[in-house]
Chains A and B, each alone.
Chain A
Amino acid sequence: MHSFHELILLLVVLSDFWVLGTTRLSSTIRATAIQGVLLAALPIALYLHPSVHLIGLALGTFLVKAVVLPYFLTRAIREAAVRREIEPLIGFTASLMLGAAAVALSFAIAPRLELGSIPSAMLVPVALATVIIGLIVLTTRNKALTQVVGYLILENGIYIFGLTQAERVPFLVELGVLLDVFAGVFIMGIVVFHINRAFDSLDSALLTELKD
Chain B
Amino acid sequence: MLRAILGLFAILLVAPIVPGIANRVKSALTGRRGAPVLQLYADLWKLWRKGVVYSPTTSIVFRLGPAVLAATTVLATCLLPLDGATSLVGFTGDLVAFAGLLALGRFMLVLAALDTGSSFEGMGASREVTIAAFAEPALILCFTVLAMATGRLQLQDMLGPPLAQAWLAAAPSLLLGAASLFVLSLAEACRVPVDDPLTHLELTMIHEVMVLDHSGPDLALVLYAGALKMTLFGSLIVRVLVASVAVPAPVALVLLLGGLALYGALVGTVESGMARLRMNRVPQILVAASAIAGFGLILLLK
Contacts and interface: CB of A to CB of B under 8 A. Distances in A.
Contact of A103 (B169, B284, B298): B298
Given A13-B295, A104-B298, A107-B301, A1 B284 contact: no
Interface string B146-185: 0000000000000000000000011110001000000000
Size class of the contact patch on chain A? 20 to 34
Interface residues of B, number: 20
A68 interface: no
A91 B243 CA distance: 38
| B contact face: mostly helix, strand, loop, or mixed | helix
Contact of B294 (A1, A100, A125): A100
B172 A6 contact: yes
Interface in A104-133: 104, 107, 111, 121-122, 125
A13 B292 CA distance: 9
A63 to B, nearest CB: 29
A2 B302 contact: no
Contacts of A99: 291
A93 B172 contact: no
A198 interface: no
A1 B172 contact: yes
Contact of B287 (A23, A93, A122): A93
Interface of A: 1-2, 6-7, 10, 13-14, 17, 21, 23, 92-93, 96-97, 99-100, 103-104, 107, 111, 121-122, 125
Given A103-B295, A104-B298, 10 more contacts: A7-B172, A10-B299, A14-B292, A21-B288, A93-B283, A97-B287, A104-B294, A111-B302, A121-B302, A122-B302
Interface of B: 169-172, 176, 281, 283-285, 287-288, 290-292, 294-295, 298-299, 301-302
